[in-house]
Amino acid sequence: MSTRRVVTGFDENGKSVFVSDEQLEGLLQANTTLSSVWRSNGRLQIPPKVPVEDGFGFPTPGGAWVLAWTIPPHSTAGEDQAGVTSAGELPSGGAHATDSVDVNVILSGSVVFELEDGAERILEAGDSIVVNGVVHTWRNRGASTARVLSVIFGADRRAG
C-alpha cells in the first residue's frame, strides 16, 4: 500500500506553501501494511518541524500519530503466514491495548473490532470508532483488503 502525503507550511517570508508532496511506502508487519503519515511526540507547533518526522511506535502523552494501514481479506491484523499473532510495539499485532486514545475511520472494506471478552462490532467504510486504551483485535472477514486511517493521541493511563 502506498499513501500520498501532502504537507503545507510556510516559506522564509511566512507565505503559505506546499512543503512536500510524496508517496509514503508502507512498512509490512506480518500481514498488515503501515504508513506513518504524521508524527509528534509532544505539543504540536506551527510552523511544523520540517521535514516531517516519520516513524513508528506510539506517541508519548500529548503526542499524536496519524497512521494509514491495511488488513488483508480473511485475516487478523498482524497475523503471520502461519496464522499466529503476537502483540508488538505496533498496533497490528493480535490482541493489544495502548496508552492512547485512537480515532479510527474505515476508508474501504469492512473490519470486525473485537474486545477481549469476544464482544464485537462490524465497521464498514465510512464508520469510525474511538478506542480508549482497551484490549482489542482487528479482523477482516471480508473478501477485499480493508483500509483504515487512525489518529492516535498519546495518553496517561489512570488507575481504576
Residue 135 lies in a domain: yes
1 has a pLDDT exceeding 80: no
Residue 62 lies in a domain: yes
CA-only gyration radius of the chain, Å: 16
Residue 146 lies in a domain: yes
Residue 27 lies in a domain: yes
* Tens-place pLDDT, residues 62-116: 888 899 999 999 988 876 655 444 444 444 456 778 889 999 999 999 999 998 8
Can you tell me the distance from the alpha carbon of 76 to that of 93, in angstroms, rounded to the nearest whole number? Answer: 9
Residue 159 lies in a domain: no
Residue 160 lies in a domain: no
The CA distances from residue 158 to 10, 117, 145, in Å, are 39, 21, 36
Residue 101 lies in a domain: yes
- In 32-145, the DSSP E strands lie at 32-40, 64-71, 75-76, 100-108, 110-115, 120-124, 128-132, 136-140
Q: Look up the domain containing 141 and give its range.
A: 2-154
Q: What is the CATH number of the domain that holds 14?
A: 2.60.120.10
Domains: count for the chain: 1
* Tens-place pLDDT, residues 47-73: 766 555 666 778 888 888 899 999 999
Q: How many CB atoms lie within 10 A of CB 110?
A: 18
* Residue 55 per-residue DSSP state: -
pTM higher than 0.85, yes or no?
Answer: no
